[in-house]
Structure 1
Amino acid sequence: MRWRLDRQVDWTPWRGNVMAWKKILIAGGSGLVGSKAALHFGAQDGCDVLVASRRPPPVAGVRHLRLDLTDRVACAKALTGHGDITHIVYAAVYEQAGLVAGWSDAKQIDVNDAMFRNLLDPLAGSVALRHVTLFQGTKAYGVHIRPFANPAREGRSEYREQPNFYWRQEDHLRETQVGKPWSWTILRPVHVFGDTIGVSLNAILGVGLYAAIMKHRGEPLHYPGGPPRLSEAVDADLLARCVAWAGEAETARNQVFNVANGDVFTWENVWPSLARVFGMELGEHRPLSLGQEMSRESAAWDEVRARHDLLSPSLEAFAGKSLQFADYTLRYGMGPQPPQLVSTVKLRQAGFHEVMDTEAMFAKWFGRLQADRLLPPALADAG
């Protein structure tokens, strides 16, 4: 690290694998994506990590800036003293109570647009700022609206005809960056999986809660979803490392990338391995809305927690809106649909080559939830 006598940082990156000092602001650091980014950067030498969120992040060793991103005046005031921020990772998102229905709602679009502006605008003119990372997803290709041609590719398969807060945020990012020295990267991960609890878009929580309650009742692990559909996933830790790469790589500057584990899966094909992780017999195909049925099982979940002396909170605090999202990704109540896959060739060619076996990813995250006493252990007795 090189310091000037006036204590201003020399922002020129060091060569090789050692990077310059960074002050990273992560918006939405209590969520699935943001918390894993905070965990990754917090473990790196030379990183000062500041998490902006209403809830404290579930990560030790980072600083918390309690901030309501919908309050423009509060954001401007809170960020005034942080002109030395070098990287912004924007992982915040506002979701409505109706989750999937809210994805096309005008209010959801307006709120997410305003939140991003409220965070970016006070920092956009800083001479210290080097990079902004923004997240989208496969809704950029209209996955929630229509089948699309496989595989979806950046720059040619976007569905801008469909209202989406992605476009408002992206347009503002591009316009704000004109004439400034910092760069940006937009990452479009497919379904993200991890062990962060209480969030909206982590299907692992809904599946894990369902398995725990079925096992508690002595049932096998029935498959509750709809017809098979070939899908992709991305491990939250892998995504965090991709964020770190994007913030420094020359080839990532002002680019959009799809991000995925590198393989494909169907829920039906990984279901037997999940039954083994939970220590359960494999059941039948019994379609069931987890969002409707499991949300009524607060008492059963409390019994599971008490029986196994779990550290997990109440059902609502544990699952968030993930039961609704599990219905969506498991395709409950939906008819047959073609695969909807994305190409990650552009990301590989740019230099990020990490991959992960998706079946191993599921075992990893469910295993961590069990090890942290948030789900019952695999060998626990049913009943």
Structure 2
Amino acid sequence: MPTAIVTGATGINGREIIHALSADPTTWPTVHAFSRSQRESYPPHIHHDTVDLLSSADVIAKELSAVGISGEKGGVDVVFFTAYLQRGDEAEMARTNGSMLRNFLEALRITGAEKALKRVVLTTGAKQYGVHLGPVKNPMEEEDPWLEDGDAHGEEVAAGVKQRILVEMSKGKGWDWVVTYPNDVIGVAKGNFMNLTTALGLYAAVTKELNAPFIFPGSPKFYTKLDCFTYSRLHARFNLWAATEPRAGNNAFNVVNGDVQSWQTMWPRLAKRFGLTIPKDQFAGRHDDRVMVLNERPPLCKLEEEMGITGHVPRGEVRMHVDLTAWSQRHDVRQAWERLAEREGLQKDAFDKATWLFMNFVLGRNFDLIISMNKARRFGFDGWCDTWEALSECLDELEREKILPRRK
């Protein structure tokens, strides 16, 4: 019977993989959940362990052996590696996250636990395509060219670094790999407020408390452009499928909901949910937008000659129609949150821990992000979900967790 490891078990993706494994103890009788702390209770077959992935391979190997993961005490069949550390610039994140993966896999070899290993499922993301750098080829497909260290973008992307490490370390071994590319993840991580859904809900709830208009804080251009999102529960379902599907080995897959969405559709729905009003011309009469210019040569430039559009690729930008970091520090906003949290019994630290800059980035781009699920479908994965329904379910969960006030 398979033994599984989930690294980053309390993160937005790792948590849902743990929940999916929890629901099927017959197939997954032993699961090790690795994270810095345990934030919720687990059923008996889920074992929470603390392993410092920033340590050397030798130190990690000792920690693995101490919790019963070794060639002698019992190996591991599947690793779901979702751990990710946001640190410094892109180059620093690539070095740090690459080292965590390399040292963990090396530790499995040192302990002998690797002998039983069949597959490693690694979560990276659409940064693989350079969605954080500017306009990309649409739709994004898995065979599109990678962003390489030292290319015209000057970026060493952590997603590509980790995938190269995974491929290299699997050679000549008895295990293979799968890599997933989620994008703009919709989900909830208990005790972890670093996600889009939480920031969206808090922005709406405080706007309601202020009796203020519900103004889209991102780019007026992006409001009517298209994006593809990933529901963390759908991503978890894909991970379990990928862990056991024979044909999936040694492949990377886009994992998005399967629909295409736009804030011109979802923003009015959010307004209705929270009882808010969108101004008839929400983008008029404002001149304090904050703009962050992205790379001089966007990812699409890698294909401009082949496509016959040399010299016609626009530079990307992130426009903050409302600078949410500054907004969150306003005296009236903070007073409104404190008043709301006290009255409704909410977790008061949620507001300070929300990722306002990330929300501005996701909503502030000036280019479409269309991601194809054709490859996953060809391989037999038939999962999909409605993005608005996924967002609504997560907002419901945030209400139950006392992060957001209950709807009246």
Q: TM-score range by the shorter chain?
A: 0.7 to 0.9
Which stretch of the first structure deviates more once superposed, 29-38 or 47-56?
47-56
| 218 and 290 in structure 1: CA distance in 2 versus 1, 3 angstrom threshold | same
Q: In 2, distance between residues paired with 1:222 and 1:305?
A: 22
Q: Which amino acid aligns with 1:30?
A: T
Looking at structure 2, the residues matched to 288 and 168 of structure 1 have their Cα atoms a distance apart, in angstroms, of 34
Q: Distance in 2 between matches of 1:94 and 1:197?
A: 17
**Residues 157, 312 of structure 1: alpha-carbon distance in 2 compared, 3 angstrom cutoff:** farther
| Cα-to-partner distance string for 1:170-200 (whole Å, 9 max, x where unaligned) | 1221111112221210000111111225547
Q: Which amino acid aligns with 1:308?
A: E
TM-score with structure 2 setting the length? 0.80
Aligned to 1:45: 25
What is the number of residues matched between the two proteins?
346
Within 1, Cα distance between the matches of 2:22 and 2:59? Answer: 26
Task: Look up the match of 1:82.
Answer: 69
Percent identical residues: 29
Answer whether contact 1:86 1:128 (CA < 8 A) is retained: yes
Task: Describe how 1:324-335 pairs up with structure 2 within 5 A.
Answer: 324-331=357-364
**Paired position in structure 2 for 1:302:** 338
**In the alignment, is residue 182 of structure 1 matched against residue 175 of structure 2?**
yes
Is the contact made by 2:39 and 2:191 (CA closer than 8 Å) also made in structure 1?
no
Alignment map for 1:30-179 (pairs within 5 Å):
30-46=10-26, 47=28, 48-58=30-40, 60-61=42-43, 62-72=46-56, 73-80=58-65, 81-83=68-70, 84-96=75-87, 102-104=88-90, 106-124=91-109, 126-160=114-148, 161=151, 162-179=155-172
Q: CA deviation at 1:103?
A: 4.9
1:22, CA displacement in angstroms? 2.1
Question: Cα distance, 1:310 vs. partner?
Answer: 2.2
Q: In angstroms, what is the RMSD of aligned CA positions? A: 2.0
Match of 2:387?
358
- Counterpart in the other structure of 1:285: 282
Partner secondary structure for residue 32 of structure 1: coil
**What residue is the counterpart of 2:247 in the other structure?**
251
Residue in structure 2 matching 1:270, options 239, 258, 266: 266
> Cα deviation per residue 1:103-156 (whole Å; 9 max; x = unaligned)?
52x222211111111222111452211110111211111111131221111122
Task: Evaluate the alpha carbon distance shift between residue 252 and residue 40 of structure 1 in structure 2; reply closer, same or farther with a 3 A threshold.
Answer: same
Are the counterparts in 2 of residues 50 and 64 from structure 1 also a CA contact under 8 Å? yes
Q: Does 1:191 align with 2:171?
A: no
Letter in 2 for 1:67: V
Given the alignment of the two structures, is residue 373 of structure 1 paired with residue 402 of structure 2, yes or no?
yes
TM-score with structure 1 setting the length? 0.85
Q: Distance in 2 between matches of 1:239 and 1:350?
A: 16
Q: Measure how far apart 1:230 and its partner are.
A: 0.8
**1:260 pairs with 2:256:** yes
Cα shift readout 1:334-374 (whole Å, capped 9, x = no counterpart): 5xx33121211001110111111111111111122113322
Q: Name structure 2 gaps, 5 residues minimum.
A: 284-320
Q: Structure 1 residues 224 and 54 mapped into 2: Cα distance closer, same or farther (>3 Å)? A: same
Deviates more, 1:248-257 or 1:306-315: 306-315
CA displacement 1:6-37 (0-9 Å, x = unmatched): xxxxxxxxxxxxxxx22211111111001111
Structure 2 residue aligned with 1:232, among 204, 228, 232?
228
